[in-house]
Each structure stands twice: as structure tokens, then as C-alpha cells.
Structure 1
Amino acid sequence: MLTVPKAAPYLVLIVLLCWLLNYHSRDTSTSSFSSNSQINLDQYKYHRGKTELINTTALFDQGNVEPSDLIAFQVTWLTSDRLGRLVSLAEKRRAPMSVAYYVPPNDKLASRDLILLDKLYHTHPALSQNVDIHLVTSPHLLQLNTWRTVARTFASTDWILLWDADFEACTDYQKGLERFLVETRSRGWANKLEQGTAALVIAPFQWTDPVVERTRDLCPVDRDELITMYRNLSMDAFETNTPILSHATEYDRWIGVGETDFYEVTEYELGYEAYPLMRKDAEVWFDQRFAGYGYERSALTAQMYLSGMDLYILPGEYGVHQEHSAAAVINTHDDIAAAKVPWMTFKMDLCHTLGEVLAERRVLHLPLGERLVSTCKAMSIPPIDRDISGQLEYSRRALY
């Protein structure tokens, strides 16, 4: 059963909308918005317990398209300044998307952003055909992991791909998932993936010269061209200047193997960022204490790997990052730093909570717990050492 974590206290409003409509079935003449209109959000507000919500079903149509259960939903978030990327991703038709769209808690700004979204839906059929939009709002900005939680929770199939709108999915990872399930069945990897105890990783790349990037298509023609560009240094691993974020993908190995030579992450470092494709009901969630940019994806990858999930690289699939300016909202508020959880605090919490979970299952002292034990002991923090030692002792006790 899918267990959804409690919403963070700062999340004031989560509003759900499902749009998977055929564009031609819409009557655009009845749209609620016009360029001169402004929405008074108060008339749509209601309360459930202490949570304030907005009922926007009067503003947008809803669809009832049910994709195949094997289809992986792209899970991402957006602010209004990145809507152009959403259109681009939707028009690629790689897969349906579940998107948390941030609406400012200000009537005038909310009206502006909803009107813009409405116009795009009526001028770009791919949005209504491929994208589920979930409106979120909060007095605090860039609650990225909270927004991802919303998008993941309401994805309509059993599989999700954690993605960022600033990346182009250059290959058909849907076929990559299908190939993996067929070709690794005999090794047991496919079974782990289906059980939610493993995830697939898509390698992200970036252009080394922004000038060249702007003069051609963002994606290479094919994998062979990508390999050539990687070798002549036109393209590189994403965030290559911070090796810990990408080292575990082993890009040189990725370049050297065939498209179906899947391999396991074995050089994990705490801080590694993965773009995982996995079961929606896997027992790892986005840590909602992270706000703004930095470590929010690393936190998820750490939970996955240290809890015992295996990570498998898909050499036939890749994405390319598009250069962009930081989200406009990040430059207008100074409350992001105050909302962040320190990375060291997260690591200590992870050692305690995961250690407790694995000890309760009596597996912390077994191979499944080796990753967590070695990583936490390597931190050389006396309270963590004592904590892990006590949990190991508890884990070894026989069950009667």
C-alpha cells in the first residue's frame, strides 16, 4: 500500500488537477480567464482540518485518460518562468508528466500565472494530452521536495521518473525500461525493480560551451554522436565540476559499453545525485525539509542507496541539461536559507532513522545493512557510532 508522508507544516495549499484532455474536445470560448481578468482566490478557499485548500475545479476541465500501468510518469515541478520548457517537454511526447506548478499566494500574481497557464493549454494541444498539473502554493518559495512529493503522489501509473524541466529527455526511456525488464529477468534485477527495491538511473550530460549549445539542437543526433562529443570534450557529465554529484555513474564506463550492457552503481558517495526511474510505491520519499537548490536530489539518492536499494545504470538512455537563469522567484525572497535543513543534520538523521528501520527488520547486521553501517561509521561522529552500535546489537538478537 502506498504510504504518503505527512505534509510539511509550511505547505499551506495543495490543489490537485488532472488534465489529460484531447485538445479538440475543449471549448476554448468558455475559458474562465481573459487577459484582463483577475482571480480572487478567497472565493475558492475552504478548510480541511487546519489545512487551507483551494477548489479550482470550476476553473479548469479535468480528463480521465488512463495510460498503461507500465508507462512511467515524468515527475517534476515548475514556476511560471519555466513554462516554456514544459511545453517543449510535452511536445516531445516521451511520456505523460505529473507536474507541481507553483502559484504565488497573492491574488494578482496567482491570476497572472494561472492566466498564462490557461493560454498555453489552449494553444499547445500537447499540454492537455500529456500533462497532469497539480497546483501548489505556500508562503515559502522553492519547497522543491514538497512539490515533488505532490507530483509523485498523484502520478497515475505505477512507475515514475524523477526529472527536472531543465533537462531534455533525448531518448525513449520508456523502451529502455521495457528492455531492462526483459533482459535482466534471469539476473533477478528486473524482479528487484518491480518490487521497489531497485531503481534505474538515466545519465545526465551538459554542453561544455554554451555558445555551441545555442547554435544547434540541444540533444545529439544519437548515442554515437554523444560519445564522439564526450571524447572531444564538447559534452561532459552534468555538474562535472562537482564530481561527487555524478562520479558514481561512471561516465567512462557508460561510454564504453553497449546500450543494453546494464550495470550496477558500485562507487556510491554520499552526495551522489541520480535521476531515478522506479516504482511509485518504493519506500523512499523526498525529504521535505530541503528548500531551494542543493542536496535535495542527493537526499533522495542517499535514502535509496543506504536503505539497500540497488541502482542500475541504463547506458542506452540519457538526458541533456539546458542552460538557464535561476528561477526568478529565488531572487525576490530571502527566506530560503532559513528554511533549509543542514546537510550534516540530514546525514545524522538518516543514520539514526534508517538504522532503526533496518534493525527492527533484523537486517542491519546482514549484507543489506552494510552500506548504511559503513557510511555512518565513516562519518566518525561519536553519537552516531554509539547509535549504530546499539542498533546492530538489537538487530542481531534472535526473534522468538
Structure 2
Amino acid sequence: MTEPGQATFDVENIVYSQQTMKWKIPNGFPEHELMEDAVLQKIFANTMQPSKVLPYYFKAVRDFDPESVTITTLITFDRYPIFSKLVTNYQGPISVSIHINDDEYRDENLANLHEMYNSNPYMREFVDVHVVVDKFDRQFNMWRNVARFFARSNYFMMLDVDFHVCTNLQRHLSLDPKARKLMRSGAALILPAFEYVEQEDGVDSATFPKSKEALIRLVQNKRISTFHDFFPKGHNATDYEQWYESEDVYKVTTYQHSYEPYVILKKEGTPWCDERFIGYGANKAACLFEIYISGIDYWVLPQDFVIHQSHPYKEETRKQERKYNRKLYQNFQEEACFRYSRNFLTANLWNHPKSENLKQQCNKIRGFKQVTTQFVTDMS
């Protein structure tokens, strides 16, 4: 890029580069070399194809503390301004997937990406950018997996870009030994989500409350409510009434399959988001459902929270895609339940506490309990 914002990079070379990856082989054997595209195609094999993943299109200059929490998020070109706000506010490691549609606007959108990245000095310090170039819009779970795969710390927070982390999360975690212990054990930590009642009040994140006490006052004055309170299944398992009173991390005990909290997870050992979900509806719920039945418990942080930054929605697009994903999610739950039950049975973990989340949720599926009882009998 030359000043001011003139695109002089070789777009074709960037997008269609032929990079290789090398494996070091022990005992003096020569390195084994594979095409990077082949490796990434295997990693993201369940996505729409063809797709080009460009890891570390920009890479932060900082070396991050392995114990820090990397925000993983995803954006398209229309979310650049709100993403810049997130970077300035968090000032910690961020791994972001950016989708560039492979159409006549591709070069222009890549130029806009460079302009956005260079417009904020915190980008260079804290943000790793991974670009996905293809013709397929809204592969949200694939984009989430890209951001997580290339995150450079042991923990990641799965966050939508239009949410504002209002508190000093990193400091609170450093001062809470129970929360740190839970993180290291592989448990999930939740930040309760809120939104302004009047959407125009939620546009400027600089005006958002910065403490739990200030937030509760706004809730009591009915200026802020729980996020999407018209759809309680999405967030009610957080138990907001308990959160208002709590001074300690507490366990989610009323999980439901539509639960979509904003959550901190351990990078290694956490299941990946199923990439067959394309578009709006159920994509994140399916991801969190699989994480939960895999044996990972959810715990709510007592001081930290996120607030939604208001913006218009494309409701007609969402309506059609939700209809498709609703049916896919119904089948996915049954499939995931049988897959993990087989894992637990084979690994002799069926009577272990790790399988309790699965039994709690999957026994709601018609016929599941009878089938697994027969499995247990046959294996015995």
C-alpha cells in the first residue's frame, strides 16, 4: 500500500499464492513438504469449496502471554468501524477472520482492509488477521474455527464483533484464582450479555457502563435489559437474577439447547464448531451444544459482562436461513448425542461425571435413553 490508501500490492499473488508447509522429521530424515492449500483444505474439509484461507495476512508484532485470553471473532467489510472500536477497547490479543467475497469488488475490499488496519495503531500491536477468500457468504462456524485455529494463546473468547467487553476482563481473571483454575481445567467461563432497551442508546460504546454496579443501576432503571429477552432460551440459562447478587463464579445448572452465551474456552481439547451450518440461525447454538455434551461445564463470571452495540439487521435473510438451520440443528443434536455417547462408552466414561451433561441433554431426545441402555447392556 502507498499513501494515501492506493492499492499497489499484487492481489493475484496474494490470493492465489502457492505456499508450502514443512514437517521436521526426527532421526535425521529430510523435511516433508506439503502445499499449504492442501493442508488447510483438509483442516476445513466440511466447508463450501473452493475456498482460500490466508493465515496471518497481518500478524501482530507482540508476543502474547500463553495464559492470556484471545478474542476470536469474524467480520465482513461492513463491520470494519465497529471492529476498530473493539480493538481499541480490548487492547489484548485478537484473532479475526475476515471474509472477502471473490467477486468484482474483491480488490477494492482488500484495499479497504489495508486502510482499516493502518488506521488504528492498536491493530499492529494486538490483531492477527486471517483472510478467507471465496464466493460463499456467512460461513460463520468455518470463520470461527479459522480465528480459533490461529489464535496464539491457550484460551480464546468466542465473541461477536458487535459486542463490547465493558470491564477489565484480564485483570479480573488474574485476581480470581477459582476462575483461573476452572479455565486451566478446561471449563468454560461465561460473560453475561445485555443490550439497551432503546437501540439509539446502544450505538456509542464509549457511553457503556464499566462496572457491574453501574450496569445494575441501568437495569433497574429499565434502560438496559438482558440480551434478546424476547427469546429467553438464548441466554436465560445464565441465571441473571443470581448474577446480580453473586460475588463468585457459579455453575450453569439449567442448560438448554438454544443457549448462546459469550464464552471463554481452552483452545486445546474443546470441540470445534460444526462447519455444515451456513448462515443465520443455530450455528453458534450447535457449537456450544457440542461443547457442553462433550463434558465441558459452563461457569458464569461474577464481575464481567458484554453489551451489544446497536445496528440494523437483515431480517428477511435471517428468516430464510434460520428455517434451513433449524432442521439441520434437530438432526445434528441427535447425531452428536449418539457420537459422544459411543465415545464415552468405548472409553469407559459412561458412569464418569464427564458424561453427565450428555445424559442430561440427550435423554430429552425420543428413544435415546432406550438405545443407550441397550448399548450399555450389550457392551457389558
- Give the gaps of 5 or more residues in structure 1: 1-27
Per-residue displacement from partner, 1:313-363 (whole Å, max 9, x unpaired)?
Answer: 1010001001112379x959x889768861211111111111111111212
Whether the 8 Å contact between 1:351 and 1:388 is mirrored in structure 2 is: no
SS in 2 for 1:133: strand
Match of 1:152 in 2: 148
SS in 2 for 1:345: helix
How far apart, CA to CA, are the structure 1 residues paired with 2:188 and 2:129? 25
Q: Percent identity?
A: 23
Match of 1:10 in 2: none
Per-residue displacement from partner, 1:147-202 (whole Å, max 9, x unpaired)?
Answer: 0000000001111011110100101211232233x2x2xxxx75443132x11111
* Residue 299 of structure 2 is aligned to residue 309 of structure 1: no
* Residue 372 of structure 2 is aligned to residue 388 of structure 1: yes
SS in 2 for 1:241: coil
Alignment of 1:1-400 (within 5 A): 29=2, 34=6, 39-40=11-12, 44-46=16-18, 48-49=37-38, 51=41, 62=59, 64-106=61-103, 108-180=104-176, 182=177, 184=178, 190-196=180-186, 198-214=187-203, 217-258=206-247, 261-326=248-313, 342-380=328-366, 382=367, 384-393=368-377, 397=380
Closer/same/farther in 2, CA of residues 40 and 305 from structure 1, 3 Å limit? closer
Closer/same/farther in 2, CA of residues 55 and 71 from structure 1, 3 Å limit? closer
- Give the gaps of 5 or more residues in structure 2: 19-34, 42-49
- Which amino acid in 2 is paired with 1:389? T
TM-score with structure 2 length normalisation? 0.83
How far apart, CA to CA, are the structure 1 residues paired with 2:2 and 2:221? 53
Query: Structure 1 residues 368-377 or 201-210, which shifts more?
Result: 368-377
- Which amino acid in 2 is paired with 1:193? M
SS in 2 for 1:114: helix
- Which amino acid in 2 is paired with 1:122? N
How far apart, CA to CA, are the structure 1 residues paired with 2:53 and 2:352? 49
Whether the 8 Å contact between 2:58 and 2:128 is mirrored in structure 1 is: no
Query: Structure 1 residues 37-46 or 269-278, which shifts more?
Result: 37-46
Closer/same/farther in 2, CA of residues 176 and 358 from structure 1, 3 Å limit? farther
Closer/same/farther in 2, CA of residues 215 and 109 from structure 1, 3 Å limit? closer
Closer/same/farther in 2, CA of residues 49 and 378 from structure 1, 3 Å limit? closer
Whether the 8 Å contact between 1:245 and 1:273 is mirrored in structure 2 is: yes
Whether the 8 Å contact between 1:44 and 1:56 is mirrored in structure 2 is: no
Closer/same/farther in 2, CA of residues 128 and 394 from structure 1, 3 Å limit? farther
For the aligned residue pairs, the C-alpha RMSD in angstroms reads 3.1
- Which amino acid in 2 is paired with 1:111? D
Whether the 8 Å contact between 1:199 and 1:312 is mirrored in structure 2 is: yes
Closer/same/farther in 2, CA of residues 374 and 245 from structure 1, 3 Å limit? same
Closer/same/farther in 2, CA of residues 137 and 390 from structure 1, 3 Å limit? farther
- Which amino acid in 2 is paired with 1:268? Y
